[in-house]
Amino acid sequence: MDTGGQGRPDIALVITDVDGTLVTTDKRVTPAAAEAAGRLRAAGIGFTVASSRPPVGLASLVRELGLTLPMAAFNGASVVGPDLATLSETLIPEAVAREAAARLAAAGLDVWVFAHGRWSLRDGAAPYTDVERRTLQVEPDIVADLAPLLLAASKIVGVSPDFAHLAACEGEIAAALGAGAAVHRSQAYYLDVTPPGLDKGSFVGWMSRHLGIPPERIATFGDAGNDTALFAASGFSVAMGNAEPAVRARASAVTGTNDADGFARGVARFILG
């Protein structure tokens, strides 16, 4: 059930998370979500996305939703245009990247590295590689050694089907890396390590400056712990019904789940009124 306040006619820009929010669990943009994006455009409200995905994973959204504004990739560490050209990019410091990869591997997690615009890993049949193929619509580079890629890593991911273990690893690895990197789960099965000092909230600030829209006129949608930075930086925030209670508590309002057109329902009720 949707909860929260009424529509916000003063909103000039909507920024949404993608996986778990804008798309369904099986990674589809529903007709209702596409229609909601069109209704925002018709109302003169800007619309874009902020995702943990690499830029290549946003290409299908540009096509399906007609996105024209800059987008955030890698949890805000990279900003790209709708043509996927890089507008801003920050990499994980090499020493931190090497320590992160070593700690993820020592914890028994599969390690993926996103560098040079590519998704690289050692085992192409490991858990969730099928999910990522479907999400990004690209094939990974299968490599024997990830070490050379850590010179230019945009994101390192620890992957595990053991959700409780991954949750424990989040706190341990975040504490070990300290200010050297941002460490957050973007899904129950993905633990992302991204450049320090940048998050999805940083992208809200970037877009605010880029478009000259004050943060209080920006609305955000999200479902995961890494989306609370979006909420904190924007004037109005909507959590998905599938979000954990701690995430829902950080939002201005709550909508339905991502598999029940919660994004479209949230736009209709809270943004367009």
145 domain-assigned: yes
- The whole-model pTM stands at 0.89
Residue 6 pLDDT: 53
Q: Is the CB of residue 111 less than 8 Å from the CB of residue 173?
A: no
> Across the chain, where does the E strand assignment appear?
13-16, 46-49, 71-73, 78-80, 86-89, 110-115, 118-121, 141-142, 153-159, 182-187, 190-194, 218-222, 236-239, 253-254
Where residue 24 sits, what CATH number does that domain have? 3.40.50.1000
DSSP code string of 27-71 = S---HHHHHHHHHHHHTT-EEEEB-SS-GGGGHHHHHHHT--S-E
Rounded (10°) angle between helices 163-177 and 94-106? 150
Residue 96 pLDDT: 98
**How many domains, the chain?**
2
146 domain-assigned: yes
Residue 61 pLDDT: 97
Domain span holding position 244: 13-89+198-271
Last residue of a domain, one of 194, 210, 235: 194
Cα-flanking dihedrals φ and ψ of residue 123, to 5°?
Answer: -120, 110
Give the dihedral sign, CA 233/237/241/247. positive
250 domain-assigned: yes
Residue 159 pLDDT: 98
Q: What is the pLDDT along the chain (273 residues), one digit of tens a residue?
A: 566 655 565 999 999 999 999 999 999 999 999 999 999 999 999 999 999 999 999 999 999 999 999 999 999 999 999 999 999 999 999 999 999 999 999 999 999 999 999 999 999 999 999 999 999 999 999 999 999 999 999 999 999 999 999 999 999 999 999 999 999 999 999 999 999 999 999 999 999 999 999 999 999 999 999 999 999 999 999 999 999 999 999 999 999 999 999 999 999 999 998
In 3D space, the residue among 266, 199, 216 whose CA is nearest the CA of residue 21 turns out to be 266
| Bridge partners, residue 112, by sequence | 121, 157
Same domain membership, residue 134 and residue 185: yes
Same domain membership, residue 82 and residue 214: yes
Residue 9 pLDDT: 59
Residue 273 pLDDT: 86
Same domain membership, residue 100 and residue 178: yes
Same domain membership, residue 210 and residue 78: yes
Q: What is the Cα–Cα distance from 118 to 63, expressed in whole angstroms?
A: 20
Where residue 133 sits, what CATH number does that domain have? 3.30.1240.10
Q: What is the Cα–Cα distance from 118 to 139, expressed in whole angstroms?
A: 9
